[in-house]
Amino acid sequence: DGPPFATGLPHYGHLLTGTIKDIVPRYRTMRGDRVERRFGWDTHGLPIEALAQEALGVSGAHEIKAIGIDKFNEQCRSMVLKYVGEWRKTVSRMGRWVDFDNDYKTMDPGFMESVWWVFKQLWNQGRIYKSHRIMPYSWKLSTPLSNFEAGNNYKDVQDPAVTVRIKALETRGFAPGGDVYLLVWTTTPWTLPENLAVCAGASIDYVAVRDLSDAARPVYVMAEARLATIFKNAGQYETVARFKGEALKGWRYEPLFPYFADKAAAGAFTVFNDDYVTTGDGTGLVHIAPAYGEDDFRVCKENGMEAFADPLDDSCAFTDAVPEYAGRFCKDCDKDIIKRLKAEGKLVHQATIVHSYPFCDRTDTPLIYRAIDAWYVRIEDIRDKLAANNATVHWTPSYVGEKRFGNWLAEARDWNISRNRFWGSCIPVWINEADKDDMICVGSVKELEELSGVKVTDLHKHNIDKIAIVKDGKTYRRTPEVLDCWFESGSMPYAQRHYMGEGGEESFFPADFIAEGLDQTRGWFYTLMVLGTCLFGKSPYRNVVVNGLVLAEDGKKMSKRLKNYPDPVKMLDTYGADAIRLYMIYSPVVRAENLKFSENGVKQIMRDLLIPWWNAYSFFTTYANVDGFAESEVARGAGGGNVLDRWIVSSLETLVADVTVAMDAYDLQRSVRPFVRFVEDLTNWYIRRSRRRFWKSTNDSDKIDAYRTLRYVLVQLSKVAAPFTPFIAEEIYRNLKGDGDPDSVHLCSFPEADASARDTALERRMAAVQTVVELGRRLRADSDLKVRQPLSAVRVAGADVAGLEDLIMDELNVKEVVFVADETELCDITCKANFKTLGPKCGPKMKAVAAAVAAMTAAEAPAPGRTVTVEGIEIAAEDVLVTRKPRAGLAVASEGAAVVAIETKLTPELVAEGLVREFVSHVQSMRKEADFEVVQRINLAVSADDEMRAAIESHVDYVKNETLSLSISFDSAEGGAETSLNGHKTVIRVDKA
């Protein structure tokens, strides 16, 4: 588990990852695996330090040191678990099973000691080193960051872009007469006081031009391709010379500012060559401040220039080395520096650019790239090993591992693991006071105690820094930095167990499954992989589920200030955890895509799945209680020979198989998609089609079979759904389980798909029936024929529904199902070319193909899964637009290969039966409004016209059976309710019998 900080309340991102981390362990437990569920807490680092600074009223490293690191760290310790109670409450309400009582914290001495053990292993491998190099630096936190942290928060910002002229002093034989200036461009004016070199591209074409608009006629040197950025037309200058950039190498120039003029003796203020210079922007001459740029630092080092100028303090404010700007944050000085350059006649051009710039992810302040001492783990030499280990991992979705993570590993840089902070695991390196190259790496508390003679009880900075090691007459003091928290995160598999290399790591390493957000490809996933590869030569995880971000409904980041998302606690109170869990897992967010969280989406899940499922359960319990159905065992499989029983059990087994395959592949979205279809089939097909079986007055074998089948399906469905919707599954299971079954659904085994109970042919035929019924209902609606109005026949072509005609007749309220061999018996067919799809295929043959398509008969036209060849071109069903003109008295519709027609003509007998069905429906509504029990017998009194009365009298037995009526009186309906049934005024009174 990638543990959270407890410095704030859980948000939807936490609820999402927590749900994923709950579903998989629940499923694997039900499959017979033992799964530990220890909760963990990230307790070190900047979130806690920020809270502590606020509580103590201090800001920045200087003020922390002023009040005392011991006081500050103890304040951090006291605030670490501020919201643990709220976390425990919310996590538990979301249904996540996790052990809070046996948790681990990264500040535990055992955890911190294991981190030291990990560090010592890398030290012994020669992977730890200290270096002075350019790093992204958070001035607000006074600490360098790793490259992957710096890439997490880019923003488009406006910065000044200035071109300045620097006077050349030594031009290697070039003497055009008059002063010569190098034109240099930069977007960081604050670095110009620290300029120590200029860089030109050796193969770039440069020009020396005389500025005719200036009375002094100065000569400017710049890239020829960039002339137009300085001179708007050719009449403003004359070309003095052309040369390649290599000719500029070694030119000396006058310092732009006086502060570091003494660096000239060390080789500063010289023009160098390097290929990183381009002419895409600027002037083709690059300003170099080696303390503040990676290329700047490299170029100076490669050219042997030892000069260095870094007049910034820990907060990136200028020191007294630059007295005019001392005490001010460097970027705040841009305007004053530009103003000064202009006053001194050194500013040639000024503009503003918009570009993407990295910000500190913790403080949202712009980063400064500067040279600084830091500790590193050597990574670049094991890129191939990292890639090979990554190839053994199953990623969901796969592209994250293959592309995003794989590409990141291919370019992996040495990892900066040191932070100039206070509350964290200490870097366990003690350095000789007299010889900085003489170091001792400590790998355990016992080792430190033996080396120092001091009892060690706490491994935090304010305690450990007091401990000196005296060895062979030399005194060693700990290096002051703490470890990057990501080092702790990567050490978690070992540190949570206080593992110290004693063996037996195969019991917990590698992990079978981990899950976190997409951003962790550069965070937790990466640090785990690096340390696992270095320590044990393999990936520390086998399967990864990567989730996307949960955003507000408007697509923006969720913001407490903007209040643009619903309160998680209120959502839990209103809809319950099951709905929220299912909504998130059903979405693409579990496949690394973003989710715009919508309360309406949660409502939809309630309406489409949870409420229908609960209604199915309520239906069963209602009728089972009425009939006294209370078998002590849950029947295993279908109750009997009823085709609906066999079909729903087969569909259940298909569901089990589909969910099992998806979950074994860690594809959570695919695992829950079949639920929606199955619950729809269960409620809107099986139960609705079987309703009369439960209404029977006698408990015959078919009724018992219906009870047994529905109970079995509901119990099995609870088991399949238990990992996803633990609360509703538990409630239904506990009320329906058999006497010998486990007390909880979560103690059950996950169902094994029973191939013998599957009848895929029946499932296909039932799906065809549902298609025919859907088409028939659509035709009724289009023809303004109510479903309660019987029709004489429905005609079907291209659908295998043999043996299930009764279902179609009952669903569509028709007297007969007629099968026809060919749809031409139902309609006239006209074929027309689909120019949109055929055009790109056919080209110049389009006219001939279109004519051939127009001449096709129904039998000749392509169909789903069958293509035809015309003029050498393969044509599919989507390439042909088919128009069907129904034959007289029919209405026709099609889907795929199925074509359905209904007979629209109504006979007097059909009209009468339609009236009776309307009457029965209205009486049923009256029973419901009166809140009658489902078995309550009634007497009916009716006042109606002759046509309605005749219709009722001709179907009196049907009416009595459907409405549970003992009698129907037409003498008087005084006190009844008046209604209109298909235009017939009718008064109906319903009395309890």
Catalytic residue among 301, 560, 696, 992: 560
How far apart are the C-alpha atoms of 691 and 707, rounded to whole Å?
11
* 154-170 and 180-186 beta bridge pairing: antiparallel
How far apart are the C-alpha atoms of 961 and 968, rounded to whole Å?
12
Catalytic residue among 1, 22, 42, 645: 42
Catalytic residue among 75, 520, 716, 789: 520
Catalytic residue among 190, 251, 486, 685: 486
**CB of 652 closer than 8 Å to CB of 678:** yes
Q: What DSSP state is assigned to residue 750?
A: P
466 catalytic? Reply is no
557 catalytic? Reply is yes
Residues 6+ apart with CB under 8 A from 872: 845
- One-letter amino acid at 66 equals A
**CB of 986 closer than 8 Å to CB of 978:** yes
Peptide bond into 397 cis (omega under 30): yes
Alpha helices in 586-700 (DSSP H): 599-605, 611-627, 643-664, 668-681, 688-695
Residue reference for tokens 């704030």: 8
Q: Which conformational region is residue 964 in: left (phi greater than 0), alpha (psi within -120 to 50 degrees), or beta?
A: left
How far apart are the C-alpha atoms of 147 and 11, rounded to whole Å?
27
How far apart are the C-alpha atoms of 65 and 422, rounded to whole Å?
9
**CB of 850 closer than 8 Å to CB of 833:** yes
520 catalytic? Reply is yes
Q: Which of 658, 661, 662, 667 is nearest to 545 (CA)?
A: 667
**CB of 476 closer than 8 Å to CB of 468:** yes
How far apart are the C-alpha atoms of 419 and 146, rounded to whole Å?
9
Q: What DSSP state is assigned to residue 642?
A: -
301 catalytic? Reply is no
- One-letter amino acid at 544 equals V
Q: Which of 379, 421, 459, 419 is nearest to 117 (CA)?
A: 459
Query: What residues form DSSP beta bridges with 42?
Result: 5
**CB of 32 closer than 8 Å to CB of 749:** yes
How far apart are the C-alpha atoms of 583 and 590, rounded to whole Å?
11
CA 90 centroid distance within chain: 21
42 catalytic? Reply is yes
Please report the sign of the dihedral spanned by the C-alpha atoms of residue 570, residue 574, residue 576, residue 577.
Answer: negative
Q: Token digits for 686?
A: 């099986």
430 catalytic? Reply is no
> What DSSP string describes 270-298?
EEEE-TT--SSSTTSEEEE-TTS-HHHHH
How far apart are the C-alpha atoms of 885 and 894, rounded to whole Å?
12
185 catalytic? Reply is no
How far apart are the C-alpha atoms of 676 and 27, rounded to whole Å?
19
Question: In whole angstroms, how far apart are CA 333 and each of 137, 141, 326, 330, 830?
Answer: 18, 20, 10, 6, 78
Q: Which residues are catalytic?
A: 3, 42, 486, 520, 524, 557, 560
